């Protein structure tokens, strides 16, 4: 079995007076693409933010590449090779597309070859290279948010609902980009509500319910178990084609 | 997609205000004098306000103690200039500058150092708590004012401008004070320096991104707090520079100088759009021009003219002239 790159054990998170995560346990295998599913409010986004250190885990342990990162500051976690694409995209609207990507490249100016690959997947970014990102459409902003995370090779990519509000053609491109990243030895943990996308892309799946992981396993098995889908997600995947 | 147009409308307010004032003032010579005076005042307020708008934009820190840096700058500069008295009164441009240069440098260093300590001791414990920030930074200003009285005494310090900066350039009927020209030049240099830093350097890119969404900047791997301390210190140092210039402009320095001018500084920051250096620049010029025109036309309402200006601008653009896109 592939060794886990990211491992969460008994992770609890409080936001103010609210207890959101109640002991999250799951592993993300190295080189794989793990999908994190669950109903709204199940704790998926909180899990990603806790891994990034944007919300502090109040209990439990988060290990990345064997190292305990539970108490590390967010910039230190990012510099270990973890990139994060939040649900809100969080692009810098007053900065140009170019500036957004330059800022995300920690090792220096982005490599031309890497940029060319990004432009192949997301051509709009090349078209609007010098435009302030605030003028991009919703789909283009999502492309930029993902491009910013992959402008340099990373070990782990945390992506929160990348297909939200996107046109099918862009989703197909996104899917291809994620596959290519995986082939290039990047590990991905993707939160998703689009089950068709999740099923086609995921190697493994963790399903969250009420701040806990209710199911972990392979996506292939989960995709054919409509009873489990019904119990954990409320709807079978077939209804989301 | 068409290339988006730059929002130039707020910039047009400056010439519009100046043109509108011309028939009201009547005499072109007086109008030119008032306009240059307004621009000079605006530039000095901009220098003092630029750091404040960035610190608010970067970390949502409401620093009501910003006036302390202005006051310290004014006092330190005054002390150095008084200690170099013979050079200040000498009839030599270079000797005058030899006195002013170290005075301004000392003001910048002292205010920057105070800013560093202020951030560590007063601001850092109250990150993210606006009410506490207001209370504790206001307290810091009061303490700083009292300490200034302890060190420099309660009396105001009278400061004469050196010979090189006294008098005016005469163009027919038009008289333009030399010191105001210097203030405009220094203000433009500071603005250009800030604009270049923000738009042409990586650190500027980080600051602009941090003003929009500090959390995402951290998630990219940058330590926003370290950046904030740097911006806070530079902002404090600029406030010290502004304080030194304001002291020379008023030719008196009192412990309350910071608190007095801080009112204008806050108006400028709000008018410009919190976190926007460009907005701060335009706002400062509008405030300077309005104060001078109204002071000439209707002295009795001069005191409230900038509050009125702020109200009108916020009715038009509730987020200020150049609102910064926030997360």
> Considering only CB atoms, which chain B residues are within 8 Å of A135?
1, 4
Q: Are strands A4-15 and A18-29 parallel, antiparallel or unpaired?
A: antiparallel
Helix or strand holding residue A59 (H, E): strand A57-64
The confidence band for B55, taking pLDDT boundaries of 50, 70 and 90, is confident
CB A210 within 8 A of CB A221: no
Q: Assign residue B128 a region: left if phi > 0, alpha if psi is -120 to 50, beta otherwise? A: left
Distance CA B239, CA B72 (A): 9
Chain A residue with Cα closest to B211: A92
CB B323 within 8 A of CB B276: yes
* Tokens 């690959």 found at: A117
Chain A, 50 to 109: residues with Cβ < 8 Å from chain B are 52, 54, 73-75, 78-79, 84, 86, 88, 90, 92-95, 99, 102-104, 106
> Considering only CB atoms, which chain B residues are within 8 Å of A74?
215, 218-219
- Tell me the percentage of chain B whose pLDDT exceeds 70: 98
> Comparing B186 with A237, which gets the higher pLDDT?
B186
Distance CA B44, CA B49 (A): 9
> Comparing B87 with A68, which gets the higher pLDDT?
A68
Q: pLDDT (tens digit, 9 = 90+) per residue, B136-147?
A: 999 999 999 999
> Does residue B1 surpass a pLDDT of 60?
no
Q: pLDDT (tens digit, 9 = 90+) per residue, B193-247?
A: 999 999 899 999 999 898 889 999 999 999 988 888 999 999 999 999 999 999 9
Partner-chain residue, chosen from B4, B208, B216, that has the shortest CB–CB distance to A135: B4
The confidence band for A241, taking pLDDT boundaries of 50, 70 and 90, is very low
Q: What is the pLDDT of residue A3?
A: 82
Please report the sign of the dihedral spanned by the C-alpha atoms of residue A103, residue A104, residue A105, residue A110.
Answer: negative
Q: pLDDT (tens digit, 9 = 90+) per residue, B293-321?
A: 999 999 888 878 999 999 999 999 999 99
Q: Verify whether the Cβ–Cβ distance B3 to A75 is below 8 Å.
A: no
Min Cα distance A158 → chain B (Å) is: 11
Partners of residue A184 on adjacent β-strands: none
Q: pLDDT (tens digit, 9 = 90+) per residue, B58-101?
A: 777 888 999 999 999 999 999 999 999 888 888 888 998 999 99
> Considering only CB atoms, which chain A residues are within 8 Å of B323?
none
Chain A, 182 to 201: residues with Cβ < 8 Å from chain B are none
Q: Verify whether the Cβ–Cβ distance B222 to A95 is below 8 Å.
A: no
How large is the angle between the packed helices B66-83 and B130-152, nearest 10 degrees? 20
Angle at Cα B166 formed by Cα B290 and Cα B253, nearest 5°?
65
Contacts of B203 (CB under 8 A, 6+ apart): B197, B227, B230
């Amino acid at each position: 079995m592939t060794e886990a790159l990211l491992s969460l054990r008994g992770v609890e998170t409080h936001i103010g007076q609210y207890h959101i995560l109640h002991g999250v346990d799951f592993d993300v295998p190295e080189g794989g693409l793990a999908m994190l599913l669950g109903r709204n409010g199940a704790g998926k986004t909180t899990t990603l933010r806790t891994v990034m250190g944007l919300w502090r885990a109040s209990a439990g342990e988060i290990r990345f590449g064997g190292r305990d990162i539970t108490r590390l500051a967010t910039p230190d976690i990012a510099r270990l090779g973890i990139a994060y694409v939040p649900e809100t995209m969080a692009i810098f609207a007053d900065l140009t597309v170019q500036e957004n990507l330059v800022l995300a490249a920690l090792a220096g100016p982005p490599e031309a070859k890497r940029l060319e690959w990004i432009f192949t997947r997301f051509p709009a970014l090349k078209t609007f290279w010098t435009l302030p990102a605030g003028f991009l459409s919703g789909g283009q902003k999502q492309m930029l948010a993902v491009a910013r995370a992959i402008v340099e090779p990373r070990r782990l990519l945390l992506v929160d609902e990348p297909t939200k509000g996107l046109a099918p053609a862009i989703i197909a491109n996104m899917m291809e980009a994620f596959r290519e990243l995986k082939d290039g030895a990047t590990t991905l943990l993707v939160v998703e509500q689009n089950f068709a996308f999740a099923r086609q892309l995921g190697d493994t799946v963790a399903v969250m319910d009420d701040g806990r992981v209710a199911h972990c396993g392979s996506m292939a098995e989960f995709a054919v178990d409509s009873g489990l889908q019904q119990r954990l997600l409320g709807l079978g995947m077939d209804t989301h084609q | 997609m068409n290339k988006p147009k730059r929002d130039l409308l707020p910039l047009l307010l400056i010439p519009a205000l100046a043109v509108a004032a011309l028939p009201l003032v009547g005499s072109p010579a007086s109008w030119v004098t008032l306009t240059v005076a307004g621009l000079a005042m605006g530039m000095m307020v901009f220098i003092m306000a630029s750091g404040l708008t960035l610190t608010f934009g970067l970390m949502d820190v409401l620093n009501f103690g910003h006036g302390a840096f202005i006051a310290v700058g004014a006092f330190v500069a005054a002390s150095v200039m008084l200690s170099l008295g013979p050079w200040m009164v000498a009839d030599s441009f270079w000797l005058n500058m030899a006195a002013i240069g170290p005075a301004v440098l000392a003001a910048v260093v002292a205010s920057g150092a105070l800013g560093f300590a202020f951030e560590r001791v007063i601001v850092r414990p109250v990150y993210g708590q606006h009410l506490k920030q207001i209370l504790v930074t206001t307290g810091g200003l009061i303490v700083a004012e009292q300490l200034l009285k302890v060190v420099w005494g309660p009396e105001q310090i009278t400061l004469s401008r050196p010979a090189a900066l006294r008098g005016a350039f005469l163009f027919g009927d038009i008289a333009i004070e030399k010191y105001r020209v210097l203030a405009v030049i220094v203000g433009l240099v500071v603005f250009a320096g800030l604009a270049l830093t923000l738009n042409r350097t990586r650190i500027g890119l980080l600051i602009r991104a941090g003003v929009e969404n500090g959390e995402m900047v951290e998630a990219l791997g940058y330590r926003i707090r370290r950046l904030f301390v740097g911006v806070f210190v530079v902002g404090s140092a600029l406030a010290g520079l502004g304080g030194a210039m304001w002291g020379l402009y008023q030719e008196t320095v009192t412990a309350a100088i910071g608190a007095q001018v801080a009112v204008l500084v806050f108006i400028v920051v709000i008018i410009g759009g919190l976190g926007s250096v460009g907005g701060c620049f335009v706002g400062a010029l509008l405030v300077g021009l309005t104060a001078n025109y109204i002071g000439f036309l209707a002295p009795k309402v001069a005191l409230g003219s900038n509050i009125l200006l702020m109200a009108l601008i916020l009715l038009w653009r509730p987020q200020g002239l150049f609102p910064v896109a926030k997360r």
